[in-house]
Structure 1
Amino acid sequence: MTNSKEIFTLIKELVSIPSPSGNTARVIDFCEKQLGGLGFEMQRNKKGGLLVTIPGKNANQHRMLTAHVDTLGAMVKEIKPNGRLKLSMIGGFRWNSVEGEYCEIETDSGEIFTGTILMKQTSVHVYKDAGEAKRNEDNIEVRIDERTTSAEETKALGINVGDFVSFDPRVQITNSGYIKSRHLDDKASTALLMLLIKAIKDEGLELPYTTHFLISNNEEIGYGGNASISPETVEYLAVDMGALGEGQSSDEYTVSICAKDSSGPYHYGLRKHLVQLAKDHNIDYKVDIYPYYGSDASAAIKSGYDIVHGLVGPGIEASHAFERTHETSLINTEKLLRAYVMSTITTY
């Protein structure tokens, strides 16, 4: 069984690679390099996601598991007359969650500039409404760490409309067993899938069914895992975060099994199978409903695939903002994933 130090190390590496949806080549390169020496069939789909296939005893019925490496981020919407940048969101976050955050701007040529995301009314010594002004795209701007006070000077740096902006993850691992960072959604689960693939190789495990692992790269914008699904696929399990908050049953210490999200109920038979596996293997779990949520699995269903779909993942506090989870949630998720890939497909 993988230890928490190994899990934390891989998560830290993943969150430290900027990968807003639409600009994920670097992190996919990293995943491909990490998994490339294992000898499994591996290919990139046309969207740029990474697909790893492990043959199983049964080649007529397949499984698919997915996690995504694309993250929230932004694009340069406008270069303002003062040389600062107006942003357009990538993914569903709120402006207040990135106020004061350090960021990187990547130009078309690959040059990186740093900056800070701020309200234009930040200084309380100048702006009477510094606290009350709306946190929105009209008031939020990027202060670039370069000597620029005009649109012309910013453009001369090579910064243009359409350049990607990524947020500093600020990753920290605590002595009390927490990892806190932006983009644990969904790089925490990506790390778990990568380590599971490695464990299957290292331990010589023979899977009961041919199993595909998709590291998708467009989930935050709704369509990362809705393709590259073989016609033999019976079950599709998205491995994403459990959403925490008031009224939720999930927490930072158990694996969350989703019963329903904004797309509707997940497959009841698969959900019961996952719950039974958790009970059989003494895995701490919670069943939950995520009211404002969608996954790669629900995207695949909406695309018309005739599959059984499910969703599990570690509980992530403060999703799409200042995220955190505990090592026990990661370990419980890893245990359930291992039990699942070795289990028998239920007749639904």
Structure 2
Amino acid sequence: MDRLKIDEDYLRDVMLELLRTPSPSGRTDAVMQIIGDHLADLGVPMRLTRRGVLRSTLAGETDDTSRAVAVHADTIGCMVKRLKENGRLEVVPIGTHSARFAEGAQVTVFVDDLTQIYTGTVLPLKSSGHNFGDDVDTQGVGWHQVEIRIDEPVTTRQDLIDLGIQVGDFVALDAAPQIVRNGFIKSRHLDDKAGVAACLAAVKALRDHGALLPVTAYLLVTIGEEVGMGATHGLDENVAELVAVDNAVVSDGQESREDTVNIGMLDSTGPFDYHLTRRLISLCEQHQVPYRRDVYRFYRSDAAPAIESGLECRAALVGFGVDSSHGHERTHLDGLRRLAELLTIYLSSPLTFGEWDEGPTGKLEDFPSHSVQPAEPEPEHTPGRHG
């Protein structure tokens, strides 16, 4: 089928709503409620696991074999480690990110009293040039070198206790999203809330056009990817293919771009499935979706915990380009739209190897070799060139 038109206003509005809803790993209930509400509005049935992972179902012509798209709603963040005698908070990171990029961040501190939240700022220990002079330029970088200043009249540890702040409280780095007139998006936590928005926009396009899927597809929204526990559960052995949607690294030495689809060939856990990866590349070329191939050295996605947990399926990674990932992030609406387009094409296409993938196991002589080509393109489409 031809690539479907993506509702860019919907994509943008959902993305901004998600970005403005804090969801550090371990405290994701609010954002998952929003995602669930959007899926319900689209008429897509869903279930939640005990841990809070959401699985929505797009029914296909058959559910004997299925496929899945996994994307995560949790973000990096912090947790209170110590209430300091000066009335400030010492924190540790949730997920892997540098205190270098946290300095100056506006934050929200969530306490056990759900009716009360506090705002603050991440500051280096030596934050006043008028007091410390040149020492502000030589202070080291690290989580032990920063503290959170709460926007309350507090000067002692007891003042913090009186507010109800405790060790173990979650701290969210405020996203502060901005969309520039030329389509660039600047915000914390584009990883992976922009990916969630692209997935929802793809689902909306499929529903709006009444697309008939060849096999049942699941959208799995996970809540622990940033701490290595993403797609660990929620899928069964009928899932033959899993495509993880996440950020793609835009940086010196990388091939990924902010305005294209980016297909991961390998990450820190190893190569992605040869056949499924090249199937996605083939679909990009057939439907003239600009794409890049890339390799990521210090990176893993929802695909890794899924395979490590024993899910027997092919796995691949498609990403939207993010500059300064886990820092001062930026992407582009063109890349998100193209990612959503690819997802609609992929979910509407046959499995890479339909007959073989009907079951989790098969005979050695029937296993597809590298010389076997993935499913043939539809005859009315002509190959395009990648961007």
Report the TM-score range of the alignment, normalised by the length of the smaller protein: over 0.9
Q: Does 1:156 align with 2:162?
A: yes
2:298 to 292, 296, 303: 292
Q: How far off is 1:219 after superposition?
A: 0.5
Report the equivalent of 1:193. 199
Letter in 1 for 2:44: F
Q: How far off is 1:5 after superposition?
A: 2.9
1:44-63 alignment, distance < 5 Å: 44-63=48-67
Q: Does 1:275 align with 2:269?
A: no
295-304 or 80-89, which moves further after superposition?
A: 295-304
Q: Does 1:120 align with 2:131?
A: no
Residues in 2 aligned to 1:137 and 1:179: alpha-carbon distance in whole angstroms: 27
| C-alpha contact 1:8 1:179 (8 A) present in aligned 2 | no
Q: How far off is 1:47 after superposition?
A: 1.6
| C-alpha contact 1:182 1:322 (8 A) present in aligned 2 | yes
| C-alpha contact 1:226 1:297 (8 A) present in aligned 2 | no
| Aligned-pair Cα RMSD in Å | 1.0
Report the equivalent of 2:98. 94
Report the equivalent of 1:209. 215
Residues in 1 aligned to 2:326 and 2:8: alpha-carbon distance in whole angstroms: 23
Sequence identity, in percent?
A: 38
Residues in 1 aligned to 2:341 and 2:128: alpha-carbon distance in whole angstroms: 49
Residues in 2 aligned to 1:254 and 1:21: alpha-carbon distance in whole angstroms: 28
Letter in 1 for 2:222: S
Letter in 2 for 1:274: L
| C-alpha contact 2:203 2:344 (8 A) present in aligned 1 | no
Q: Which SS does the other structure have where 1:260 is aligned?
A: strand
193-202 or 91-100, which moves further after superposition?
A: 193-202
Q: How far off is 1:302 after superposition?
A: 1.3
Q: Which SS does the other structure have where 2:138 is aligned?
A: coil
Letter in 2 for 1:257: I
The superposition leaves residues 198-254 of structure 1 with CA deviations (integer Å, 9 ceiling, x where unpaired) of 222222111110111111111000112121112200000101111111110111111
Q: How far off is 1:15 after superposition?
A: 0.4
The superposition leaves residues 147-176 of structure 1 with CA deviations (integer Å, 9 ceiling, x where unpaired) of 000000111001110110001111001111
- Structure 1: which 4+ aligned runs deviate by more than 4 Å? none
Residues in 1 aligned to 2:171 and 2:266: alpha-carbon distance in whole angstroms: 32
Letter in 2 for 1:242: A
Residues in 1 aligned to 2:45 and 2:35: alpha-carbon distance in whole angstroms: 14
The TM-score normalised by the length of structure 1 is: 0.98
Residues in 1 aligned to 2:45 and 2:339: alpha-carbon distance in whole angstroms: 25
Q: Which SS does the other structure have where 1:125 is aligned?
A: helix
Report the equivalent of 2:268. 262
Total equivalences in the alignment: 348
Q: Which SS does the other structure have where 2:256 is aligned?
A: coil
Residues in 1 aligned to 2:8 and 2:301: alpha-carbon distance in whole angstroms: 25
Report the equivalent of 2:337. 331
Q: How far off is 1:330 after superposition?
A: 1.0
Q: How far off is 1:34 after superposition?
A: 1.3
Q: Does 1:303 align with 2:319?
A: no
Q: Does 1:37 align with 2:37?
A: no
Residues in 1 aligned to 2:143 and 2:352: alpha-carbon distance in whole angstroms: 49
Residues in 2 aligned to 1:63 and 1:36: alpha-carbon distance in whole angstroms: 21
| C-alpha contact 1:257 1:285 (8 A) present in aligned 2 | yes
The superposition leaves residues 103-155 of structure 1 with CA deviations (integer Å, 9 ceiling, x where unpaired) of 01010112110000001101112124211111212220000000000000111
Residues in 1 aligned to 2:185 and 2:11: alpha-carbon distance in whole angstroms: 10
Report the equivalent of 2:89. 85
Q: Which SS does the other structure have where 1:186 is aligned?
A: helix
Residues in 2 aligned to 1:37 and 1:168: alpha-carbon distance in whole angstroms: 27
Q: Does 1:66 align with 2:70?
A: yes
Report the equivalent of 1:145. 151
Report the equivalent of 1:220. 226
1:75 to 68, 73, 79: 79
Letter in 2 for 1:312: V
Residues in 2 aligned to 1:152 and 1:146: alpha-carbon distance in whole angstroms: 13
Q: Which SS does the other structure have where 1:138 is aligned?
A: helix
1:27 to 21, 28, 31: 31
| C-alpha contact 1:66 1:296 (8 A) present in aligned 2 | yes
- Ranges in structure 2 where 5+ consecutive residues have no aligned partner: 354-367, 369-387
Residues in 2 aligned to 1:306 and 1:149: alpha-carbon distance in whole angstroms: 55
Report the equivalent of 1:346. 352
Residues in 2 aligned to 1:313 and 1:330: alpha-carbon distance in whole angstroms: 9
2:252 to 227, 246, 250: 246
Residues in 2 aligned to 1:54 and 1:219: alpha-carbon distance in whole angstroms: 23
Q: Which SS does the other structure have where 1:57 is aligned?
A: strand
- Ranges in structure 1 where 5+ consecutive residues have no aligned partner: none
